[in-house]
Amino acid sequence: MLHNMSAPPRTTIRYEGLSGNVKESGPGGSGVCSRGYQGTPVRGRIVQLQLPDSWDSCDPSALLTALGVAPLGDVQSQLLALVIATARDLPLPDICVVLPVDKTAVPLWGTPLMALTVLSQCSDVMWLRAKSPVFAQAITRRQVRLLVPQPWSEAPAIEV
């Protein structure tokens, strides 16, 4: 039998991070108070990025050629440096929530390089600027939809 030896029995752990979303209601018929939770409205913009349909290879030389960049020397390092530089310059926060893709969504944003950058640095739930790019993941996924919170969503570069 396993025990958590770092916490004595009857320890109460309390998280106050979402306490602003709690609505207290008075005693009910039984005299017991109840709590309800309500989400605060999230303000921002949804952007969707998509790779061109013709991109079907995660080979660094093929990706560089598709981007209009001449492959030189160590193409893996060249592509990696290009994507990292693009990620650094994106007008996005360091982390964005990934939303389910809407296949019918019209508003797309960004260039193929931006799409490759974001797609190669996101998981199923978030995009992280500092994540190491995985190009095979980008080619497999093809498109991503991000929730860009304010104030980043108000930047002229985010207009779709």
pLDDT at 116 over 60: yes
Per residue in 30-56, pLDDT (tens digit) is: 445 555 545 555 677 888 999 998 888
Tell whether 51 is covered by a domain.
yes
Q: Is 124 helix (H, G, I), strand (E, B) or coil?
A: coil
Residue keyed to tokens 């709590």: 35
pLDDT higher at 108 or 131: 131
105 belongs to a structural domain: yes
52-91 residue pLDDT tens:
988 888 899 999 999 999 988 899 999 999 999 999 999 8
Backbone angles phi, psi at 122, to 5 degrees: -125, 155
Percent of the chain with pLDDT over 70: 66
Write down the mean pLDDT value for the chain.
78
pLDDT tens track for 85-99: 999 999 888 988 898
Number of neighbouring beta carbons within 10 Å of residue 142? 16
Q: What is the pLDDT of residue 1?
A: 46
% the chain with pLDDT above 90: 31
- Asked if residue 25 is part of any domain, the answer here is no
pTM of this prediction exceeds 0.85: no
Q: Report pLDDT for 16.
A: 55
Domain contains 18: no
Count of domains for the chain? 1
Q: Which domain holds residue 112?
A: 44-158
Question: Does 131 have pLDDT greater than 60?
Answer: yes
* Token duo for residue 25: 């209601």
- Strand 44-50's sheet: what is its strand order? 44-50, 143-149, 95-99, 126-128
Kindly state whether residue 5 falls inside one of the protein's structural domains.
no
Question: Quick one: 159 exposed, middle or buried, by C-beta within 10 A (0-12, 13-18, 19+)?
Answer: exposed
Backbone angles phi, psi at 63, to 5 degrees: -65, -45
Task: Say how many C-beta atoms besides its own lie within 10 A of residue 61's C-beta.
Answer: 13
- The answer to whether residue 7 is domain-embedded is no
DSSP-assigned letters across all residues of 49-69 = EE--TT-----HHHHHHHTT-
Q: Are 49 and 142 in contact (CB under 8 A)?
A: no
DSSP structural state of residue 18: T
Give me the mean pLDDT over the 120-146 stretch. 91
Q: Is the peptide bond before 107 cis (omega within 30 degrees of 0)?
A: no
Q: Is residue 12 part of a domain?
A: no
Asked if residue 37 belongs to a domain, the reply is: no
Predicted local distance difference test score (pLDDT) of residue 18:
46
Average pLDDT estimate for 14-21: 51
